[in-house]
């Protein structure tokens, strides 16, 4: 992606269909479809885990070409109950995608995911390669222990002010294990306990997500519903190693490596550093690897946004 190239999002659109799906464990997930009813099916997988999707996420895809499927994963966004950890593991999210795909009568679809969404896209693809058209992946995360440790402690090397606020939310005696301290508060049923912890966790992540300061983005991360869904579910997943083996995923990439794939990675992504994208690209040499030289983690940074839209345009030529 040439430095300075700026491709805008597609115009705002409304869904032509939406609904909810009961998937067990008390979970009801929200889903929607927009764009062309007979278009190339693509499913958008949001990050976090737990962050939820927004109307802006429809706009990475040409609505005259794509049939755009968006869902909020268990416990996230418009799905209910918000922040529920019951029966909320990676395997459940993979199964939910299969149930939704079958309900919508989609034979195969393109997987589009960033950050945790890239993890889920890969996990789904390895479980169901025959249901995948291809992959557009951004800000690669594999849930490995070193990646989780980096989020909790390593990001202070670049964002010491944000990390200090994150760590200092806990009393001094609990700062040696930030994940345990936050997890205990986030899982508490009392909003007076879990909401302040959720805001502190979410604002920390938002503050480290862009190359340049972005107060509006940080403010959206502080919003109660977004903060609770993301922080509680992230802490739950991180405490359990994201319920996957990221190294094993790399070893099994042969199951999908002949499918078309584009990897988009910000050079200065601090939340999901480029070393993980490098590992995926090395294991998957057939994938196109596009490093954005002037961007961090957020999908909405101009360089990342432009690269993702260019990727969805490129993919249309493969399925025409």
Is 297 a known active-site residue? yes
Catalytic residue among 72, 96, 202, 269: 269
Contacts of the segment 235-238: beta carbons below 8 A, 24+ positions apart: 235/179, 235/182, 235/183, 235/186, 235/187, 235/201, 236/85, 236/88, 236/183, 236/186, 236/187, 237/49, 237/90, 237/116, 237/143, 238/148, 238/151, 238/152, 238/179
269 labelled catalytic: yes
HSE-up (13 A, CA, CB side) for residue 159: 27
Of 79, 115, 202, 298, the catalytic one is 115
Of 34, 72, 297, 306, the active-site residue reads 297
What tokens does 171 get? Answer: 């009393």
Place of tokens 């800000």: 139
Give the residue numbers annotated as catalytic, written as ranges. 115, 269, 297
């Amino acid at each position: 992606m040439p430095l300075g190239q700026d491709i805008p999002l597609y115009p705002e659109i409304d869904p032509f269909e939406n609904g909810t799906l009961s998937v067990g464990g008390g979970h009801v997930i929200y889903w929607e479809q927009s764009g062309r009813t007979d278009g190339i099916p693509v499913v958008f997988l949001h990050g976090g885990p737990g962050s939820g999707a927004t109307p802006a996420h429809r706009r990475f895809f040409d609505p005259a070409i794509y049939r755009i499927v968006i869902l909020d994963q268990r416990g996230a966004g418009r799905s209910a109950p918000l922040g529920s950890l019951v029966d909320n593991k990676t395997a459940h999210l993979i199964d939910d995608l299969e149930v939704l795909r079958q309900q919508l009568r989609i034979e195969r679809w393109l997987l589009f995911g960033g950050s945790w969404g890239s993890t889920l896209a890969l996990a789904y693809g390895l479980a169901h390669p025959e249901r995948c058209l291809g992959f557009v992946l951004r800000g690669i995360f594999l849930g490995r222990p070193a990646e989780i440790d980096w989020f909790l402690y390593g990001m202070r090397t670049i964002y010491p002010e944000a990390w200090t606020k994150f760590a200092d939310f806990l009393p001094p005696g609990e700062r040696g294990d930030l994940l345990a301290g936050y997890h205990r508060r986030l899982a508490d049923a009392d909003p007076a306990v879990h909401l302040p912890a959720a805001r502190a966790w979410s604002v920390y992540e938002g503050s480290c997500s862009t190359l340049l300061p972005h107060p509006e983005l940080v403010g959206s991360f502080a919003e109660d519903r977004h903060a609770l869904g993301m922080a509680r579910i992230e802490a739950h997943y991180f405490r359990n190693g994201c319920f996957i083996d990221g190294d094993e995923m790399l070893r099994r990439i042969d199951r999908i490596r002949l499918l078309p794939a584009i990897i988009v990675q910000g050079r200065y992504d601090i939340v999901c550093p480029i070393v993980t994208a490098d590992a995926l690209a090395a294991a998957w040499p057939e994938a196109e690897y596009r490093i954005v030289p002037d961007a961090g983690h957020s999908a909405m940074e101009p360089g990342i946004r432009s690269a993702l839209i260019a990727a969805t345009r490129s993919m249309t030529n493969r399925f025409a």
